[in-house]
Amino acid sequence: MKLYQVDSFTKEVFRGNPAAVCIVDRELSEAQMQSIALEMNLSETAFVRLGEESCDLRWFTPAREVPLCGHATLASAFVLFEEGYWNKTEPIIFNTLSGQLIVTKNSNGSLSMDFPSTIPNKADEDINKIEKLFGGEVIETLRIPGELIVILKNPEDLFSTDPDSGVIASLAKNGVIVSVWCGNEQYDFASRYFAPNLGIKEDPVTGFMHTILTPYWANRKGQDSFKALQASSRSGDLWLTLKGDRVVITGNAVKVFESNFDF
């Protein structure tokens, strides 16, 4: 089985979000895929089974399978296009737990992913507790199943926060998304994602959370296109466009290494 490690949402190695991509050439059990993901110990390991018109795609964290993952989808498409598994002029259709996801390769080398958007609902949280956790003023809190979304007032608080993982784990089944409006020449908004319950203290760059934040910020700011920063230590850049009930996420990727994985 071919195994690739790819850094997503970056043009530089050792930045962005690393994902493992396994090109599955035989049937694997869920236990085997989970063991491989644990061994890789990255935020996600993707398993791709090639087809003639579409590909099956699954994602596993070190702790469990997840229904949607942006950076590992980007990494998977990058591998298929760049390693000769798929015609670069044809979009890739991935069959996933979140339905069909379509990825296209752009003329500038970036990749665009067409994902379903999710509208968060307002949440009635203990604001004092949340402000103490993140060390800054909170504008509002929201939820989708499994996730808490916290909107901060000041970018400096987002960049400097170092929340307690034990408290984070008690707030949501999966993780806590934190976002702030920047509104400068570099970025429209910035975010971070903390998910200790998924085996990830902080995810470097998270595609799926931008399917939530894009419609949120579009509603608040009256615009449908954004440049976003994920402000982790590795950092990553995303270009986002809201199109009806879909979000197009565009980013770059770079291969770190490839290997053969036999077990």
Quickly count: other Cβ atoms within 10 Å of residue 98's Cβ. 19
Name the nearest CA neighbour of 68 among 145, 143, 121, 178. 145
- What is the C-alpha to C-alpha distance for residues 3 and 263, in angstroms, rounded to an integer? 12
Measured CA distances, 27 to 1, 22, 31, 37, 39 (Å): 11, 12, 12, 16, 19
User: Catalytic residue positions?
Assistant: 44
Measured CA distances, 180 to 138, 148, 216 (Å): 10, 14, 11
Name the nearest CA neighbour of 247 among 216, 202, 204, 205. 216
Measured CA distances, 220 to 62, 189, 240 (Å): 35, 12, 15
Contact 176, 133 (CB under 8 A): no
Name the nearest CA neighbour of 203 among 212, 193, 211, 213. 193
Contacts for 30-39: CB closer than 8 Å, 24+ residues apart: 30/65, 32/263, 33/58, 33/60, 33/65, 34/60, 34/64, 34/65, 36/60, 36/261, 36/263, 37/61, 37/62, 38/62
Name the nearest CA neighbour of 210 among 187, 183, 238. 238
- Helix (H) or strand (E) holding 140, with range, is strand 138-144
